[in-house]
Structure 1
Amino acid sequence: MISSKNSILCICWLITTIGLANISEDPAIQKATKYYIDGDYHQAVTEYKRFLFFHPGHPQKALIYLQMGKVFIQLADFGSAIDLLQVAFQQTNDVTQKLQIAFQLIPVLLAENQTDRALIVSYRVLTLIDRTSANVRSDDRAQIYFFLGISELYRQNWKAAKAAFLVSDLVSPEAITLLDELGKEDVKKSASMAKWLSTFCPGLGQFYAGEWADGINSFLLNGIIASYVSHLFSSGRRQSAILLGSSILWRYYNGNRQNAVKAVGQYNTRLNEKKINRVLDQLSLKK
């Protein structure tokens, strides 16, 4: 995870109000909601589930699933929250309700590092708004674009993140400037280069990726085995040399090449994480 779950949730929910869903005045629902307000979350879930059991076709069941999702967010059970919020999102075609659900679902998806799903939900909501020409508040649309920007940021799509943030008109100019700078930077290391370097000299690809200890280990281990294989050949024990070279030496030599590729991948991941955290640190909202 690039940043803590609480940090991502705080950033996303900073721009939206977390309130109770506008559900039916049914006494059973009021009872469940009172448990929620009082902090008795497990009892609240029990009451919501009981209501849905006896009223499976209730017209506001999407909002009830939404409310249960909020309960599990409070319990920090984000996996269960996502499952319930996804059900809520699928249970309604009402744009207003989908917005309410999306404002809860997308931040939790981001907190769980499920950026692709967060991106899909964001685009679905925006598409629904455009297709239905729904009368949606400009602030609500801006919040969805803000979530879209966060999703693209986590995918290292700097230009797309910048475009979404600009449409939202919620992000400070400093964060936009930083995204411009990151979009111009290209300091990733090449996996193919690392593989070819380790093909030429075991350990060299790891050095290229900044993994000095692994590089030294690979260079010495392959060198020692290769030297022994050479010694067996020169001493006339060719069968033993071939057996050792085709099994143990090949295994370590080929493993060294694969490890070099893996090391570059880890280097690029750490680099991207640093970039994303720099933007998150600058992601103060416009005043």
Structure 2
Amino acid sequence: MMVIDADQQLAFAARLAAQGKHHQAAAEYDRFLHFFPNDPRQREVHLEAGRGMLHAGDGPGAERYFSTVTQGAVRDDLWQSAHFLLTESYLLQGNPHAAVKPLYALLATTAEAKVKDKVYQRLAWIHIDQLDWDGARRILERISPEGRRRFDTQALADRLAQADRLPHKRPALAGALSVLPGAGQMYCGRYEDALAAFMVNGALAWAAYEAFDHDLNALGGILAITGLGFYLGNIYSAVSSAHKFNRAQQEGFSKNVQRQWVIGRRSDPNTTRRLSAAAITIAVRFQF
């Protein structure tokens, strides 16, 4: 009967990870945790299993492994790394509010400037991903002078300041312009929607007028009520279009900044890029 020892089990899991079979690798790391509970590498393997879950897109599974380490009594480099990785597991679940908690917990328990700088930088990128430019700049200001040089935070802060000059559409103005159906959509650059709004509202208004003019009051009333609904919908659509325009500008700016810093010449060795399966999004990810 073949007996696999701890080293062989870890080597097998590592091979699977190297082959990109991350979910299987995580399962093999978990097998190690089960069969070798007294091995001194238990904490390291928890992190490796969690990384496998992250790569496999399983945020809750990754959270479980990383939390085991963060809740442990030993506070060392592995413990610090687990906090950063736990943040990534929450982000993978689309929960930025929970993602910042491990980082702030780490800030409260460490006096190391380099660790704090990494925390502040990661927090800044979370703010950037949430389109909170002012929050990101405030966080960047907390980084130590040495960290600012290392991460080139002044250049990043200057780049974020450009967000104030992004093209912007005023929702209130879009709604006001929609007194003339389609004008608000045209203001937002949605020309096909503008034409459709003008044609539909105009047609309903004309039909209602003709109905009343021919003493078809019941039909005229129905058409008038229907037309009013479309008219109000036209105003709502214009306001919504302005919000969508502004959101698209901000999201595009965020992606461009992240591409520049993560993929471009300003990339830090502690960061890497992750492409979302749902859309082409770039996010900073620390490697530990």
Fold shared per TM-score above 0.5: yes
- For each residue in 1:83-138, what CA deviation from the matched residue of structure 2 results, as whole angstroms up to 9, or x when unmatched? 435643664354434421133343455566543333333223223x2xxxx454x3
Identify which of 241, 249, 269 aligns with 2:247.
269
Question: 1:229 deviation in Å?
Answer: 0.6
1:164 aligns with 2:143: no
Letter in 2 for 1:249: G
Aligned residue for 2:84?
103
Aligned residue for 1:242?
221
SS in 1 for 2:124: helix
Any conservation in 1 of the 2:57–2:92 contact (CA below 8 Å)? no
**Cα distance, 1:210–1:124 mapped onto 2, change above 3 Å:** farther
Any conservation in 2 of the 1:149–1:162 contact (CA below 8 Å)? yes
Aligned residue for 2:68?
88
Aligned residue for 1:232?
211
Q: Aligned residues: percent identity?
A: 21
Question: Which deviates more from structure 2 when the two are superposed, residues 235-244 or residues 50-59?
Answer: 50-59
- For each residue in 1:160-196, what CA deviation from the matched residue of structure 2 results, as whole angstroms up to 9, or x when unmatched? 21233341423324323212333x4364323233233
Any conservation in 2 of the 1:69–1:81 contact (CA below 8 Å)? yes
Counterpart CA distance in 2 for 1:175 and 1:209 is: 30
Question: Which deviates more from structure 2 when the two are superposed, residues 41-50 or residues 276-285?
Answer: 41-50
Counterpart CA distance in 2 for 1:29 and 1:118 is: 33
SS in 2 for 1:39: helix
Any conservation in 2 of the 1:194–1:206 contact (CA below 8 Å)? yes
Counterpart CA distance in 2 for 1:175 and 1:236 is: 68
Q: TM-score, normalised by structure 1?
A: 0.72
Aligned residue for 1:125?
106
Any conservation in 2 of the 1:32–1:47 contact (CA below 8 Å)? yes
Any conservation in 2 of the 1:65–1:88 contact (CA below 8 Å)? yes
Aligned residue for 1:223?
202
- For each residue in 1:48-75, what CA deviation from the matched residue of structure 2 results, as whole angstroms up to 9, or x when unmatched? 434555788999866544221111234x
Which runs of no fewer than 5 residues in structure 2 stay unpaired?
270-288
Counterpart CA distance in 1 for 2:12 and 2:214 is: 83
Q: TM-score, normalised by structure 2?
A: 0.72
Any conservation in 2 of the 1:222–1:252 contact (CA below 8 Å)? yes
- For each residue in 1:222-258, what CA deviation from the matched residue of structure 2 results, as whole angstroms up to 9, or x when unmatched? 1111110111011111111112222x32332222222
Identify which of 189, 194, 204 aligns with 2:169.
189
Aligned residue for 1:39?
16
Counterpart CA distance in 2 for 1:49 and 1:176 is: 42
Counterpart CA distance in 2 for 1:232 and 1:29 is: 86
Identify which of 148, 162, 180 aligns with 1:201.
180
Identify which of 125, 128, 140 aligns with 1:153.
128
Aligned residue for 2:160?
179
Counterpart CA distance in 1 for 2:54 and 2:216 is: 68
Identify which of 59, 74, 82 aligns with 1:79.
59
Counterpart CA distance in 2 for 1:94 and 1:264 is: 52
Paired residues in the alignment total: 251
RMSD of equivalent CA atoms: 3.3
